[in-house]
Structure 1
């Protein structure tokens, strides 16, 4: 699986655990909110930059293939036949065509946003965080949420 998806899944899984924590444990994770917000921003950059990185990778692979007499072998062939791999009999190389669909990237980005939202919502519900603090955190992560989208019910009537 691609790093972009793995890192998003790991963060979503971790943030998802926070909704089941005891309040004192939740307060402990909230003490590290800047770390978690940084992780969200990092994963969002990873996801948002995937298309450009994939394009750059394919362009570099094509350039290398076109400027070298590049042949292709599979990992299995390398492992089993390493001593007898004859370049004359190998297939011509082509750029890898692996691609994460944009719809998958978009869905993962939404999962990351939702995981952070639910963490902040739980913190607000437990009165560990004000609505304004939650909105500011969401806004700082550039998730495309407008502050008005964050509607929590609790002590803060302005939310």
Structure 2
């Protein structure tokens, strides 16, 4: 039976990659930060897209779940009952076929979401501290990713 590798796995990996990349910039040389700041719109857009995908995952999952459930019920779908002992169709189950399992929701998005926002925030702080943006621009970017500025972080 095929294991469901849902979009949440993809979304988490994408958020993790963006977070890791931005985290690297927080302690890079200033000239490297300046190079990445030249693409700030790209990085902010990537973060926003990733956050939106994480936030809307439950809606997409519910649609997929209901579509599979309805299909299985309407078509009376049966799949081979897998036997872990012989690695084949289970001969002990009724006709060797069962109703397929529906996908299970894996829900913990909180930590990866928080890590992504923090990575963007600390990249922005680094950009601020090396003089690539001012407080108003910083505030605008933070608003876009849904976070506030800690006044202590603005001390140079």
TM-score for the superposition, normalised by structure 2 = 0.79
2:61 matched to 1:54? Answer: yes
Offset of residue 73 of structure 1: 4.8
Runs of 4+ more than 4 Å apart:
148-151
> Which ranges of structure 1 fall in alignment gaps of 5 or more residues?
82-87, 155-159
1:7-22 aligned at under 5 Å gives the runs 7-22=14-29
Partner Cα separation in structure 2 for residue 138 and residue 107 of structure 1: 18
Greater helix fraction, Structure 1 or Structure 2: 1
TM-score for the superposition, normalised by structure 1 = 0.78
Q: CA RMSD in A?
A: 2.5
Partner Cα separation in structure 1 for residue 76 and residue 126 of structure 2: 58
> Which ranges of structure 2 fall in alignment gaps of 5 or more residues?
89-94
Q: How many residues align?
A: 141
2:138 matched to 1:134? Answer: yes
Partner of residue 102, structure 2: 95
